[in-house]
Amino acid sequence: MINLEMTQKMMDVKNGMNNMASSMLRPISRHYDEREHEYPKELDVFRSIKIMSRPKKKKEGEEAKPEKPGPKKLGTNLSTVLVIEELCWGDLGMVLSLPNAGLGNAAIVAVATDEQMERFGDKWASMAITEPGSGSDSGSITAKATLDGNEWVLNGEKIFVTCAERADVAVIWATVDKSAGKAGIKSFLVEKGRPGFKLEKLEHKLGIRASDTGTYVLDDCRIPKDNILGSAEVKQSTEGFKGAMKTFDNTRPLVASMSLGVTRAALDLTREKIEESGIKLDYEKNPNNMSAIEKEFYMMEANLEAMRLLTWRAAWMMDNGEANSLEASMCKAKSGRDGTLIAQRCCELLGPLGFSCENLAEKWMRDVKITDIFEGTGQIQHLIVARSVLGYSSKQLK
Amino acid sequence: MEDREFGFSLSEEQSSMKDTVAKLVKSMVMGNPAHDMDEERKLSREVIDKVWELGATVSMVPEEYGGYGMEYSPIMNSIFLEELAFGDMALAIAATLPSTFIYTILQMGTEEQKKKYLPLYCDPAYKACTVAVNEPRFGFDAVSLETKAVKNGSKYTINGKKCFVPMAKDSGHMLVAADADGKMDLFIVDGNNPGLKIGEREKNLGLYALESYPVVLENCEVPADDRVGGDNGCDYSRFLQKTRIALSAIGTGMSRASYEYARDYAKERVQFGEPIASRQSVAFMIAEMAYEVDAMRLMTWKAASALEAGRDAKRESYLAKLYAGEMTMKLTDYGVQILGGHGYIRENPVERYYRNGRGIAILEGMATV
């Protein structure tokens, strides 16, 4: 049944989170933008909230099954995109820095053994994939893991790691067999403080400055054999790598919803200023009989709505057990790109107010840009969508 | 009110109706028939009858007025319109034209109006009745009309000019949108009213197959009882909301037609030894078309969901139509562009989609959900 009216439950989540964002994140948003690399200690209150958790297994061998969403029950993914939009309306950088809610935590929740869950479940985990020579092409990483007795020995360099300094543990992607290509890529849990593991530097960024981004260097870093996530076996197929890529079907709608939040923040401020100037937005007049600013505002608002519906659809499909790779890439492709363009245009429409650091609009324009880059650039998303709708392999459409 | 489940999937009923229309469109409209209707500037009456026989509109009218008494569903109507417009926009408008008349009277008319007019058109056979909203002037706006209705005792005298009135010549009645003392309203005008001057068939940029006419109302007198909703008039904003959602659905269908045609062509067309779809510059256009068609549809459904829940859909319907108007132009343009020179030739349907697509942003009130 098609029904795109928000349920009461959805409204409750949205309103609750919006309160939190406006009372806790907005007031300190500029402060931490200006103090890059300083941990927003106010975020510590989130430490106790289990954002990344795993449904309890009932019995031995029984798969933990999330309950089917329905009128009363809100699906996990749809609920999460609602939460993220509202929190990012507050501050995207801080959302990326919520304790114990890193991408590494998502990986641990997804594949850790019970014993690993026991050891790492309460830790804040960063995720280290990107290397200086390996960005979107994550199958080409060169960081190495070699088994030496009861230990893995890790060597390599990882860049652009979110929460690099703040995390307690890092999930490091490395190859156990370069000749096996993607099939040889595994991920490893490395605790901070292990000899040979070093936080080399922290980056200075365009936006999301409240979130630290750093470089790890691994120099003969030894970790216990059972710190590997998933199986150590190198299979002939690339199923394992594809499985890791599949987690993106889950996370891309989340990134899209980050764009929704920041974009809406920019539009809300623009609306406020338009209305202060005496223009009433009545959703009635012919768009050709109004000022260019009004028409453009409506079009941007329509675009935001389109971004949001594509995002909600991808999340809803995931909740309902439907394959959503295509839809996840669609929502990220559109939201990353259009969010960026809208935030830029809002600055322009705001005029001097949009260029001044007195307002947050300039910050939102810097912040939202990341959503068109991380978790697969807009171009990668377009490739995925195009291959899917054309029925082309990655060889047929490079 | 009890919360309905939020969701994106078609119900069994919705998907079976979608399949039925899709099948009809595929066998009787897609390809040559749509092309020929456009070239001959004439819709196939057979197809119109077949669409009407599906009973989509009449089914949602209560039995006492000649319908089948099923629940009214703007979402169902949106799905219906998208499928028809996927085949041909002119057909989608013509075949559902009586719906605009019927639903308006059903939902906003007085009891007398319903009893008098609905049985005339809730008939197993298609009978034309139409709507006159658009006016031939620079700066036209559906919410500030130059056609005026002035009350004189038990009558209204209407004066003004209308254009793009589909099938005006064959229509037994038309709804005329006019300004009644500052309030925009709708009046039921008999097709034989002597104050109604129907001009020569129009020649337009697109919708060649759809007969449309300019209509002049010259001291056109209508009984006061024929003001939709009676003395206080009707909820004109709601009327516009429903027509805007309908045009969004039509834009979605047409954009999807452009997208699918261009996508398939790009896989067939070989240049430099490879299908052009294997080049990113073309492939990325196709990707964009794919998600924008979905976005248009979801915005249509979102606005229709608000109506279905009995809520005002002013904002949602306005944004959906604005978006569909802009996007239909963009996607029908992409369709022509991907076909290159071949897209400019009338043999290929993308040429027609491009001309018709311009209409979504311009036209008002030509279809309804």
Q: Which of B75, B81, B87, B68 is nearest to B25 (CA)?
A: B87
pLDDT over 60 (residue B15) = yes
- A139 confidence band (pLDDT: 50, 70, 90): confident
| Partner residue opposite A3 with nearest CB, options B4, B266, B315 | B4
Q: How confident is the model at residue A58 (pLDDT cuts 50, 70, 90)?
A: very low
pLDDT at A69 over 90: no
**Chain A 366-395, CB below 8 Å of chain B: which residues?**
379, 382-383, 385-387, 389-390, 392
Compute the count of residue pairs across chains A and B with CB atoms less than 8 Å apart.
169
pLDDT tops 60 at residue A57: no
First-to-last alpha carbon distance for chain A, in angstroms, is: 38
* Percent with pLDDT over 70 in chain A: 94
The shortest C-alpha distance from B194 to chain A (Å) reads 32
pLDDT band for A65, please (50, 70, 90 cuts): low
pLDDT per position as a tens digit, A297-333: 999 999 999 999 999 999 999 999 999 999 999 999 9
Partner-chain residue, chosen from A2, A7, A309, that has the shortest CB–CB distance to B10: A2
For residues A78 and A257, give the distance between their C-alpha atoms in angstroms, rounded to a whole number: 10
CATH of A8-115 given 1.10.3720.10, 3.20.20.70, 1.10.540.10, 1.10.760.10 = 1.10.540.10
The pLDDT value given to residue A329: 97
Burial group, residue A185, by CB count within 10 angstroms (0-12, 13-18, 19+): buried
| pLDDT for res A66 | 54
Nearest of B78, B23, B73, B21 to residue B51 by alpha carbon: B21
Residue B239: pLDDT over 60: yes
Q: Is B73 helix (H, G, I), strand (E, B) or coil?
A: coil
Query: CA torsion sign, A117 to A122 to A127 to A128?
Result: negative
Contact residues on chain B for A383, CB-CB shorter than 8 A: 280, 283-284, 287
Q: In this model, does residue B363 exceed pLDDT 60?
A: yes
Q: What is the pLDDT of residue A62?
A: 52
Q: Is the pLDDT of residue A70 over 70?
A: no
Please write the tens of the pLDDT for every residue from B49-85: 999 999 888 899 999 998 999 999 999 999 999 999 9
CA angle A148, A154, A157 (to 5 degrees): 165
Residue from B235, B207, B252, B367 nearest B313 by CA:
B235
| Least confident span in A354-363, B2-11, B97-106, B188-197 | B2-11
B305–A382 C-beta distance less than 8 A: no
Q: Report the pLDDT value the prediction gives residue A251, as an integer from 0 to 100.
A: 86
**Is the Cα dihedral B135, B293, B23, B75 positive or negative?**
negative
Mean pLDDT of A110-124: 91
Asked if residue B131 lies in contact with residue B174, where contact means CB atoms within 8 angstroms, the answer is yes
Residue A232 scores a pLDDT above 90? no
Tell me the average pLDDT across A143-165.
96
> Hey, what domains does chain B have and what are their CATH numbers?
12-121 (1.10.540.10), 130-226 (2.40.110.10), 236-362 (1.20.140.10)
Put simply, the chain A residues between 33 and 92 with a CB less than 8 A from any chain B CB are 70-72, 78
Residue B175 has pLDDT above 80, yes or no: yes
pLDDT digits (tens, 9 = 90+) for B297-324: 999 999 999 999 999 999 999 999 999 9
If you average pLDDT over residues A369-374, what whole number do you get? 96
| Six-digit token string for B332 | 């029908």
- Tell me the average pLDDT across A346-372: 97
Which tokens belong to A235? 């299979």
For the segment B20-59, what is each residue's pLDDT rounded down to a tens digit?
Answer: 999 999 999 999 999 999 999 999 999 999 999 998 888 9
pLDDT at B338 over 50: yes
Does the distance separating the beta carbons of B315 and A390 come in below 8 Å? no
A239-390 CATH: 1.20.140.10
| pLDDT at residue A50 tops 70 | no
Token pair for B81: 């319109």
Mean pLDDT score of chain A, rounded to an integer?
92
Whether A216 contacts A157, CB under 8 Å: yes
Question: How do the domains of chain A map onto residue ranges?
Answer: 8-115, 123-229, 239-390
ipTM: 0.95
Percent of chain B with pLDDT over 90: 95
Strand partners, A214: A161, A202
CA B147/CA B160 separation, integer angstroms: 4
The predicted structure's pLDDT at residue B57? 87
**What pLDDT is stored for residue A60 in this prediction?**
52
> From CA A200, how far away is CA A213, in angstroms rounded?
11
What pLDDT is stored for residue B81 in this prediction? 97
Q: Which of residues 57-86 of B touch A (CB under 8 A)?
A: 75
Class of domain A123-229 (CATH, top level): mainly beta
Q: Which two three-digit tokens encode residue A75?
A: 């699906």
Whether B272 contacts chain A with CB within 8 A: no
pLDDT of A111: 85
CB-based contact (8 Å) between A397 and chain B? yes
Q: Does B265 touch chain A (CB under 8 A)?
A: no
Among chain A residues, CA nearest to B262: A390
In this prediction, residue A13 carries a pLDDT of 95
Around Cβ B233, how many Cβ atoms within 10 Å? 18
Grade residue A56 by pLDDT with cuts at 50, 70 and 90. Answer: low
Residue in chain A closest to B238 (alpha carbons) equals A284
Question: For position A138, what pLDDT does the model report?
Answer: 84
Distance from B150 to chain A by nearest Cα, in Å? 24
Distance from C-alpha of B323 to C-alpha of B368, rounded to nearest angstrom: 17
A42-51, B180-189, B234-243, B269-278: which range is least confident on average? A42-51
